[in-house]
């Protein structure tokens, strides 16, 4: 760093503060951004769903979900508003990949500035579904977003 930054406490504080603002976090409280919880459920009877969720810099790993089991993760949205998580899902010989969180999902679900919101995904035999609320698997609140590939 230049002498201007290292010798000036205000400049050094500003550099650290900017780094803090642009770094996504897996915290329950988010400073200046929205806090999101993503829930993914297996709604296919007699199946084991393989789930792999990741972002550009955060691989959440591979999980196996039995029928009615779920997977949850939390994150603070990037201050730049460009947070993207993708999911790869498969069971038997069927698979699908889609964005489990992006700007479109944020706009669909809605979340006040600095608040917290939940996103619910349900994988069923005919495709994958999105909801703002955790509802029974047969509830009409689940909106079909796409089919299996």
What is each CA distance from 145 to 8, 13, 28, 29, 82, in whole angstroms? 52, 44, 28, 29, 21
Q: For 28-51, how does the pLDDT look when each residue is reduced to its tens digit (9 = 90+)?
A: 568 788 899 999 999 999 999 999
Q: Per the structure block, which two tokens stand in for 80?
A: 């730049």
Q: Taking a C-beta distance cutoff of 8 angstroms, is the pair 77, 83 a contact?
A: yes
Which residue's structure tokens are 């495709």? 127
- What pLDDT is recorded for position 1? 52
Tell me the CB-side half-sphere exposure of residue 58, using CA atoms within 13 A: 16
Tell me the CB-side half-sphere exposure of residue 7, using CA atoms within 13 A: 3
- What pLDDT is recorded for position 36? 95
Q: Quote the CA–CA distance of 24 and 79 in Å, as a whole number.
A: 8
Q: For 60-77, how does the pLDDT look when each residue is reduced to its tens digit (9 = 90+)?
A: 999 999 999 999 999 999
When comparing pLDDT for 16 and 130, which is higher? 130
Q: Taking a C-beta distance cutoff of 8 angstroms, is the pair 148, 94 a contact?
A: yes
Cα dihedral 143→136→43→130 (10° resolution): 20
Q: Quote the CA–CA distance of 127 and 94 in Å, as a whole number.
A: 10
- 25-146: CATH superfamily: Immunoglobulins (2.60.40.10)
Q: Taking a C-beta distance cutoff of 8 angstroms, is the pair 77, 106 a contact?
A: yes
Average pLDDT for 115-135: 96
The least confident of 11-25, 88-102, 103-117 is: 11-25
């Amino acid at each position: 760093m230049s002498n201007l930054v290292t010798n000036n406490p205000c400049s050094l504080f500003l550099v650290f503060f900017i780094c803090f603002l642009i770094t996504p976090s897996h915290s329950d409280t988010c400073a200046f951004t929205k806090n999101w919880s993503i829930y993914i459920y297996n709604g296919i009877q007699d199946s084991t769903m393989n789930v792999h969720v990741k972002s550009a810099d955060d691989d959440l790993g591979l999980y196996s979900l039995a029928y009615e089991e779920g997977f949850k993760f939390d994150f603070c949205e990037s201050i730049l508003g460009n947070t993207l998580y993708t999911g790869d899902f498969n069971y038997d010989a069927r698979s699908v990949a889609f964005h489990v969180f992006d700007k479109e999902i944020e706009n669909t679900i809605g979340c006040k500035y600095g608040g917290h919101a939940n996103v619910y995904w349900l994988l069923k035999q005919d495709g994958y579904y999105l909801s703002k609320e955790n509802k029974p698997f047969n509830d009409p609140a689940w909106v079909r977003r796409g089919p299996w590939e």
